[in-house]
Amino acid sequence: MGLIIVTGMSGAGKSTTINALEDIGYFCVDNVPPELIDRFALLNTRGQSEGRMALVVDARAGDLFDRFDETLDRLATLGCLYKLLFLDAADDTLLDRYQEGRRRHPLIGHGAAGLPEAISKERALLAKARERADYVVDTTNTAVSVLKGRITELFRSEESDAMTVECLSFGFKNGLPHEADLVFDVRCLPNPHYVVELKVKTGLDQAVRDYVMDSPKSREMLSRILGFLDFSLPLYAEEGKSHLVVAFGCTGGHHRSVTFAQLAGEHLRDRFPGVTITHRDLEKT
């Protein structure tokens, strides 16, 4: 993918994202004023940069960010191809991260009196950018290592016009993934958590997968879900969807959801080579 424009809420993980992109060969520039985006884009389009490029544009630009939407429109006019990645997180999570890190929010002193007001104003400022985003990654319940792996999986392959699909497992007790386009609840299936020898294992272990899928209702549910995905995903692609997140949830995000995300991802890779599989809560105890 030639050019990625990264934006999103302060504290949502843009620095981690840039580090991950640099590790897979992107030339990254942080805190770019919106009016300079097209210059970088033209360099990239004309082959005058070192290949793949990622630009971070966010609320630190202050009043200049008002021109962000206009700049994106201009890129289309210039024929510059790009993907817009938006990093998000729940307000209370952002508040906790700022308080723990003792960092100063970029909007404090620029129209916001305190941290909660700054977060609220920033969310309003970035609303249009979130609507335009090709990829929305919510980091509310995501560990740094998981986020880096997720970004790497999304962007390490070569640029393609094909829709990318992410199969995501999660635990309902840790909250819904807000970026999910489709959510399948598999809590109704047999739970390995109550089997002593399986409790400490995960859906990545064959024994757990065999236990879950040994049930006829598990096999029936998987068959119905895969049939639905086989039918609906091409329709999303026809509508111009560039990235689709299919989420599978169980109670803790360790067993049933991991099993179903793995099996669905392996099935879909035959038709969507850009499929990635992410386990959001696998590291949580």
Residue 257 has pLDDT above 90, yes or no: yes
Mean pLDDT of the chain: 89
Residue 111: DSSP 8-state: T
More confident residue, 131 or 154: 131
Least confident interval from 78-82, 91-95, 100-104: 100-104
Predicted pLDDT of residue 214: 97
The set of residues, in sequence order, having a beta carbon less than 8 Å from that of 213 and lying 6+ positions away, is 219, 222, 259, 263
Structural contact between residues 129 and 68, judged by C-beta atoms closer than 8 angstroms: yes
Residue 196 has pLDDT above 90, yes or no: yes
Listed in sequence order, the DSSP H helices in 1-143 are: 14-23, 37-45, 68-78, 91-101, 115-125, 127-132
Distance (Å) of CA 175 to CA 8, 53, 61, 139, 169: 20, 33, 32, 11, 12
Structural contact between residues 201 and 128, judged by C-beta atoms closer than 8 angstroms: no
Residue 278 has pLDDT above 90, yes or no: yes
Structure tokens at 63: 């009043």
More confident residue, 147 or 159: 147
Question: Which of the four pLDDT bands, split at 50, 70 and 90, describes residue 242?
Answer: confident
Kindly state the percentage of the chain with pLDDT values over 70. 94
Predicted pLDDT of residue 141: 87
Structural contact between residues 139 and 6, judged by C-beta atoms closer than 8 angstroms: no
Nearest CA to 203 among 168, 164, 173, 154?
168
Residue 274 has pLDDT above 90, yes or no: no
Residue 192 has pLDDT above 90, yes or no: yes
Global confidence as pTM: 0.71
Angle at CA 35, nearest 5°, toward 34 and 38?
A: 95
How far is it, in rounded angstroms, from Cα 211 to Cα 220?
A: 15
Residue 36: DSSP 8-state: G
Question: Which of the four pLDDT bands, split at 50, 70 and 90, describes residue 99?
Answer: confident
Predicted pLDDT of residue 260: 98
Residue 250 has pLDDT above 90, yes or no: yes
Predicted pLDDT of residue 170: 97
Fold of 3-155: Rossmann fold (3.40.50)
Predicted pLDDT of residue 103: 79
Angle at CA 55, nearest 5°, toward 247 and 36?
A: 140
- As to burial, measured by CB atoms within 10 angstroms (0-12 exposed, 13-18 middle, 19+ buried), residue 124 is exposed
Least confident interval from 104-113, 181-190, 208-217: 104-113
Residue 195 has pLDDT above 70, yes or no: yes
- Domain parsing of the chain, residue ranges: 3-155, 164-279
Sheet strands (E) in 122-163: 135-138
pLDDT tens, 10-63? 999 999 999 999 988 899 999 999 888 988 888 766 554 456 899 999 988 887
Question: Which of the four pLDDT bands, split at 50, 70 and 90, describes residue 139?
Answer: very high
How far is it, in rounded angstroms, from Cα 258 to Cα 277?
A: 9
Structural contact between residues 135 and 168, judged by C-beta atoms closer than 8 angstroms: no
